[in-house]
Amino acid sequence: MLGITIGVIAVIATGTIASIGRTIIFNELETFGLNSIWVYRSSTQEKPGESYKKGTGLKISDLEVIRENIHAVGDVTPVSSRTAWVKNQNKFTKINLLGTDGNYAVINNDSMVEGRFLVPEDLYLGQKVCVIGPEVSRKLFSTASPLGQEIEIENHAYKVIGLLREKGRDFLSAIGAGDGQDSNQRIIIPLNVWQSQFNNDDIDFIQAQAKTLDQVEEASSQILNLLHFIKKGQFTYQAETMKQYIETADRILDTVSWIGALTALISLVVGGVGIMNIMISSVMERTREIGIRKAVGATNTDILFQFVTESAMISLLGGLAGCFLGTLVVLSVEFLIDKPLAVSWPHVFLALFVSALVGILSGYYPARRASRLDPVVALRHD
């Protein structure tokens, strides 16, 4: 019976974790924009002789070409990034400095806690303004508002015009995705200001947003084709999409599900064999009782039904214990990871159904033996 219980726990726990995991990961990915495409110079697919060329070959003008020619694309934004030191009075911290435009926040689903994001005027006027991430704000200003404050980025003064909302990136960090940086540790400034401060008019990468999720693949390949055409084969580019991360997540969760199913299967088989043994013993011990029941009118079918039912009951009891303990496991995990989980009811019903089925199947053989006992012989048994 223990095998049944363990099997059911496995089914419930992994089923719940897999379905909730999907929701949690999806929610995290959604905060980064599900339709996103990142286009950057390829280091692995470049042609011979290309590696000596410096820079990425991407310019601001390329974005306009993309916008005009690729209809599957909604918004596009240029991004240049590097790590830099930022200082406020006597506090220092290392941050990821991004140079981009106003579209960046839209594409990345960034929202503000205070102030505003970049607007076209900031780029037009070349303003030394910045938007900072929550971790940066904590390190430089602790709990005080950073708005309107002046900070020094690599010895250049900038005014803080906005504070970004916190973003979780547990899953993306775990699979080493995206820009590999903690998004709460960013500072964002206008791209042209970034380019003049660091004397580099190349863009590191282009981030585009497809109009719909279905158009992501199409947009991605069209952008690459366009860029390869414009650059006349001088540079090779590649693209990454959020979809790929979703597929990675799905693969991981599927593996979790498969492991859970396999554990459950093995446990249920073990449990089934255990129940069969219990029932065989039970039939042997109750041989006389079977004879009595037959003597007073039980048919072979009555006896078969009685023992199969008993077997199913034992198995179902193990299943219920498993449901109870499985729910406890889910509640414990919920408490530990501090995220709400809901027990996956379809998995519970599946588990109970399967445990009853295992009971019926494993009890059938002993029950059949019981039903075929000769009443006279059975009555003589001890």
d(CA 346, CA 149): 54
Q: Is 281 in the site for another protein (CB under 8 A)?
A: no
Q: Which residue has the tokens 């055409």?
A: 229
Q: Does 299 bind another protein (CB under 8 A)?
A: yes
Q: How far is the CB of 379 from another protein (least distance, A)?
A: 7
294 touches another protein (CB under 8 A): yes
Under the binding rule (CB under 8 A), the answer on residue 288 touching another protein is yes
**The only residue of 139, 167, 293, 347 in contact with another protein, by rule CB under 8 A:** 293
Q: Any contact of residue 375 with another protein (CB under 8 A)?
A: yes
Q: Which stretch binds another protein (CB under 8 A): 59-67, 203-211, 265-273, 295-303?
A: 295-303
Q: Which is nearer to another protein, 69 or 281 (CB)?
A: 281
The CA angle 371-373-376, to the nearest 5 degrees, is 135
Measure Cα distances from 301 to 164, 192, 309, 363, 367 in Å.
73, 87, 12, 14, 10
CB of 298 to another protein, least distance (A): 5
Does 292 bind another protein (CB under 8 A)? Our answer is yes
Residue 300 binds another protein (CB under 8 A): yes
* Nearest alpha carbon to residue 348 among 313, 332, 375, 324: 324
> Site for another protein (CB under 8 A): which residue of 60, 250, 379, 381?
379
Output the 3-class SS for 277-331: HHHHHHHHHCHHHHHHHHHCCCCHHHHHHHHHHHHHHHHHHHHHHHHHHHHHHHH
Q: Can residue 376 be called a binding residue for another protein (CB under 8 A)?
A: yes
Closer by beta carbon to another protein, 186 or else 293: 293
Contacts of 80 (CB under 8 A, 6+ apart): 98, 99, 100, 191, 194, 195, 198, 200, 202, 203, 204
Apex CA 116: angle with CA 133 and CA 24, to 5°? 50
| Helical packing angle, 242-285 and 216-230, nearest 10° | 150
Minimum distance from residue 276 beta carbon to another protein (Å): 22
Contacting residue, 144, 296, 340, 346, with another protein by CB under 8 A: 296
Q: Which is nearer to another protein, 67 or 368 (CB)?
A: 368
CB of 12 to another protein, least distance (A): 33
Give the binding site for another protein (CB under 8 A).
Answer: 288-289, 291-302, 375-376, 379
